[in-house]
């Protein structure tokens, strides 16, 4: 399967492999298990994060098809939008972003700082639209307009979550399996934030190559609750496996936990704020309020409930998102 990945068009954007580091002080604070972090916040593209790995395959595909413009839609403080803008800049092609007001609050920081500021610095065209706007229709309309103007647009799906974007995390899983061998450890559990689902789908496929020694992957939902949402991830797993000609992983390998979303996507929870402070103050590790803070809160809750044994080894996926800290200045002020 590694060879099936190697034959896919890919445009190098990331610093790989990203570091795998032990979190000794956090492990001691929680009284075990042994906790490690995968530093995918350090993928290197315009402040890093998980979308860079997906974009290597997406951009490879886009350029192979002759595209000269990337179009994508997301939330206002989207890390995916920022990294898409950076990828387009690296390839020397255009980027148009349609950003929806997805969170139920507004502040001037939220619409001007953090990722949206970086999108503009990276040269993308940014349009902010209301919540509830049909984003697929908005993207298709822009693609048609671009074609009429003689451009060759390429629509990047939400979060880059479809093959070939998911291949980036199949590759990441293989990278983690190699790194754990080199470090002489075996991960029993892996925790990650799940949004559009492509990261989890890729990891499920990649880890399935380890057979019975594959870690249990826990997707902590930050977006939606309910079985429909897991079905979406399962569909992405099936599509990714089919595209790569792999044996489809068992459905049991796709675990989605809905307990840490809180009231809404992008709305802080107390447990997220505690997790942010814990990582910063015990490890000097900066997480983000939308994804990784809630994912770490989910991991801490599992440890505190005894769902993870003290002698087990756990990996936390740091998927990035730190530029979104700054627009959350007011929302986080009580926690700092
Ligand atoms: C997008 C994102 C995720 C979730 O990844 P999906 O593939 O969309 O599920 C996690 N963390 C950060 C920081 C992200 O930007």
Mean pLDDT in each 10-residue stretch from start to end of the chain (336 residues)? 85 98 98 97 98 98 98 97 98 98 88 96 97 95 98 98 98 98 97 98 98 97 91 98 96 97 95 97 98 98 97 98 94 79
Cα of 200 to ligand 1 centre, how many Å? 9
Residue 219: per-residue pLDDT? 98
CA dihedral sign of residues 125, 288, 305, 215: positive
User: Residues lining ligand 1, judged by CB closer than 6 Å?
Assistant: 49-50, 79-80, 159, 161, 193-200, 288, 291-292, 319-321
- Among 321, 323, 328, residue to substitute to test ligand 1 (most atoms within 8 Å of Cβ): 321
Cα of 206 to ligand 1 centre, how many Å? 17
Cα of 227 to ligand 1 centre, how many Å? 19
Q: How far is residue 80's CA from residue 69's CA, in Å, rounded to a whole number?
A: 16
Cα of 221 to ligand 1 centre, how many Å? 10
| Tokens describing residue 300 | 């801490």
Q: How far is residue 168's CA from residue 174's CA, in Å, rounded to a whole number?
A: 10
**Does residue 284 sit in helix, strand or coil?**
coil
Residue 108: per-residue pLDDT? 86
Atom of ligand 1 nearest to the CA of 288: 13
Cα of 305 to ligand 1 centre, how many Å? 25
Atom of ligand 1 nearest to the CA of 159: 8
Catalytic annotation, pick one of 4, 27, 78, 108: 78
- Among 236, 319, 328, residue to substitute to test ligand 1 (most atoms within 8 Å of Cβ): 319
Q: How far is residue 210's CA from residue 230's CA, in Å, rounded to a whole number?
A: 22
Are 97 and 119 in contact by the 8 Å Cβ rule? The answer is yes
Atom of ligand 1 nearest to the CA of 324: 13
Cα of 291 to ligand 1 centre, how many Å? 7
Q: How far is residue 77's CA from residue 323's CA, in Å, rounded to a whole number?
A: 9
Residue 1: per-residue pLDDT? 63
Active site includes 333?
no
The CA-atom distances, in angstroms, between 18 and each of 29, 144, 159, 194, 315 are: 25, 38, 20, 20, 14
Strands 125-129 and 255-257: unpaired
pTM: 0.98
| Tokens describing residue 6 | 């190697």
- Among 43, 46, 50, 118, residue to substitute to test ligand 1 (most atoms within 8 Å of Cβ): 50
Q: How far is residue 138's CA from residue 72's CA, in Å, rounded to a whole number?
A: 10
Residue nearest to atom 15 of ligand 1 (CA): 79
Residue 2: per-residue pLDDT? 65
């Amino acid at each position: 399967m590694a060879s099936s990945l190697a034959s896919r068009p890919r445009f190098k954007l990331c610093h790989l492999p990203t570091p795998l580091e032990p979190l000794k002080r956090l492990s001691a604070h929680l009284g075990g298990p042994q906790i490690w972090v995968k530093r995918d916040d350090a993928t290197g593209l315009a402040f890093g994060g998980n979308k860079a790995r997906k974009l290597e395959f997406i951009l490879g595909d886009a350029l192979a098809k002759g595209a000269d413009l990337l179009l994508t839609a997301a939330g206002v403080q989207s890390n995916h939008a920022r990294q898409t803008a950076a990828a387009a800049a690296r390839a020397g092609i255009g980027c148009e972003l349609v950003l929806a007001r997805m969170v139920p609050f507004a502040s001037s920081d939220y619409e001007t700082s953090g990722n949206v500021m970086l999108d503009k610095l990276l040269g993308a065209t940014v349009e902010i639209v209301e919540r509830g706007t049909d984003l697929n229709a908005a993207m298709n309309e822009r693609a048609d307009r671009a074609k009429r103007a003689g451009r060759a647009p390429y629509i990047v799906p939400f979060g880059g979550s479809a093959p070939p974007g998911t291949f980036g995390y199949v590759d990441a899983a293989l990278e983690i399996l190699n790194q754990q061998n080199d470090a002489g450890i075996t991960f029993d559990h892996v925790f990650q934030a799940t949004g559009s689902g492509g990261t989890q789908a890729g990891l499920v496929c990649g880890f399935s190559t380890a057979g019975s020694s594959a870690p249990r992957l826990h997707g902590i939902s930050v977006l939606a609750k309910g079985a429909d949402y897991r079905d979406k991830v399962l569909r992405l797993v099936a599509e990714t496996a089919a595209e790569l000609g792999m044996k489809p992983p068992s459905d049991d390998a796709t675990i989605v936990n809905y307990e840490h979303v809180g009231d809404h996507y992008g709305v802080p929870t107390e447990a997220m704020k505690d997790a942010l402070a814990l990582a910063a103050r015990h490890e000097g590790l900066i997480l983000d309020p939308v994804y990784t803070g809630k994912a770490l809160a989910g991991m801490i809750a599992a440890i505190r409930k005894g769902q993870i044994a003290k002698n087990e080894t756990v990996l936390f996926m740091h998927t990035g998102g730190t530029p979104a800290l700054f627009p959350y200045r007011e929302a986080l002020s009580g926690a700092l």
